[in-house]
Amino acid sequence: MEKSKISTVKRILILGMMFLLSGGIACAGSLLYQPETESLIRNVVMALAGTGIVIYAYLFSETAGLFIYRNEGKYDKFAVVYLGSMIAAIFFPWLPVTGWPFLVIFVLLGVFSNGITGMMAGSVCLLLAVNFAGGDLSVFWLYFISGLAGILMFSNLNDDFLVGLPVIVSLLVLILCLTANVVLFSREQLAVEQFTIPAMNMMICCILLLVILKAFSSSVIHKDQEKYMEINDPECPLLVQLKNMSKEEYYHAIHTAYLGDRIAKRLQLDDAAVKACGYYHRIGRLKGENTWENVSKICDEFHFPAYTRKILKEYVDGKEKVVSKETIVVLFADCIVSSILYLFDKDPMAQLDYKQLIDTVFNKKLETDELWSNEISLAQLHEMKKIFIEEKLYYDFLR
């Protein structure tokens, strides 16, 4: 879901409820463990202050584009995960401190937002649990460091979302911290029994992480796969409509999608999104002009993935700044296809110097401000140009 799809009122309501409920949860936990007025006020104030910082971190991350796994605008999901984590933290003091599954809490909050927001949110939950359990500072640092390690391990996975190594490293850091902060300071003689609860904690964290991350992968990371399989089929009903309206537009889309897909795969970008945008960057013509308003209506009607909508908006809407690498790939693919089709339309038998044509396209684009302040590097532009030139045998199919 894009930020533009959520009204300001709805954002305020969700974040406002999240703020107020966090205070209520802290109050309930205080009544359960520390009903004294001073402790209750302290816990509520700390929870509200911490939640305020979490909300600021979330909004700042959204504005600065710091989210991972396309969590932009998913206020409701994050609020549910955050408040659920706070509720869980209330009951952790009933367990031995070596058995608190805070690694799972930190990772869960991190993957539903980003590193800094997840770290802040997990710290607020941990602070409540430590206060309710008696305020041992070593326990706080134990779970803070292991939670931070967990967040970092899961903050930069690609779309394959391979979690094996991050899970192992996170668990190793957890057992190291448990040993250094709890087992090492045990007054009893070291024995196997002292490692029983930490070992159970590791097993529980491992199982919960694998289950939760599998669900997260299915519902967030790969939820668009079926939709991409549908809309990236050349026989998709929407493309059939385009073909019936104009064969020229249809084949232009086919060629743009092919080249964009080839480039995106070589540059390790989101090739499914690039291919979809190659197919549909002119789909607004079905409703008249190829304006963002028309394209947006079609995106809504056919439930396009959020990232595809973002790329299309950057490409079609003249008010939007071209930022993402995927948008730039579609931009160059479309420009090169348009140039070749134009020249073949003038002279179907023309023998084109494709390398020179591609050089000209790149030079003209680089002379404008269209590629300023975006995510693509000069090295990637050079690689993109090289790949376009390698495809020169394909261009004869455009005759």
pLDDT digits (tens, 9 = 90+) for 193-224: 666 777 888 888 888 888 887 777 776 666 77
Give yes or no for residue 3 having a pLDDT over 50: no
Looking at residue 42, its amino acid is R
Q: CA separation (Å) from 283 to 239, 243, 279? A: 8, 11, 8
| DSSP code of residue 287 | G
pLDDT band at 336 (very low <50, low <70, confident <90, very high): very high
Q: Which residue segments constitute the domains of the chain, with CATH numbers given?
A: 3-221 (no CATH), 225-398 (1.10.3210)
Angle at CA of residue 344, ends 339 and 349, nearest 5° = 145
Output the pTM of the full model: 0.66
To which H or E segment does residue 169 belong? Answer: helix 164-181
> Tokens in use for 25?
């949860």
- How confident is the model at residue 178, as a pLDDT? 82
d(CA 25, CA 83): 8
Segment 336-345 shows an average pLDDT of 89
Q: Are 105 and 85 in contact (CB under 8 A)?
A: yes
Q: Are 249 and 271 in contact (CB under 8 A)?
A: no
Nearest to 310 by CA among 285, 287, 290, 330: 330
- How confident is the model at residue 1, as a pLDDT? 41
d(CA 25, CA 18): 10
**b/e per residue, 355-387, with b = 16+ CB within 10 A?**
eebbeebbeeeeeeeebeeeebeeebbeebbeb
Pick the residue with more confidence: 198 or 265? Answer: 265
- How confident is the model at residue 165, as a pLDDT? 83
> Tokens in use for 348?
């179907």
Highest mean pLDDT among 156-160, 226-230, 385-389: 385-389
Across all residues in the chain, what is the average pLDDT? 85
Q: Backbone phi, then psi, for 369, in 5-degree steps?
A: -95, 10
Nearest to 239 by CA among 289, 278, 290: 278
Lowest mean pLDDT segment, chosen from 42-51, 79-88, 147-156, 182-191: 182-191
- How confident is the model at residue 192, as a pLDDT? 59
- How confident is the model at residue 4, as a pLDDT? 41
Give yes or no for residue 182 having a pLDDT over 80: no
Alpha-carbon torsion 178, 150, 222, 157, what sign?
negative
- How confident is the model at residue 66, as a pLDDT? 73
d(CA 145, CA 19): 25
Segment 83-108 shows an average pLDDT of 91
Nearest to 296 by CA among 2, 36, 25: 2
Q: Which residues contact 101 (CB under 8 A, 6 or more apart)?
A: 92, 201, 204, 205, 208
Give yes or no for residue 45 having a pLDDT over 90: yes
- How confident is the model at residue 280, as a pLDDT? 93
DSSP per residue, 171-216: HHHHHHHHHHHTGGG-SSPP-GGGGHHHHHHHHHHHHHHHHHHHHH
Angle at CA of residue 394, ends 390 and 397, nearest 5° = 160
Give yes or no for residue 82 having a pLDDT over 90: yes
**% of the chain beyond a pLDDT of 70:** 90
Q: CA separation (Å) from 125 to 29, 45, 144, 171, 323? A: 11, 13, 10, 20, 36
Q: CA separation (Å) from 142 to 91, 137, 181, 203, 311? A: 18, 9, 6, 18, 42
Pick the residue with more confidence: 297 or 135? Answer: 297
- How confident is the model at residue 240, as a pLDDT? 92
Segment 262-274 shows an average pLDDT of 89
- How confident is the model at residue 88, as a pLDDT? 93
pLDDT band at 2 (very low <50, low <70, confident <90, very high): very low
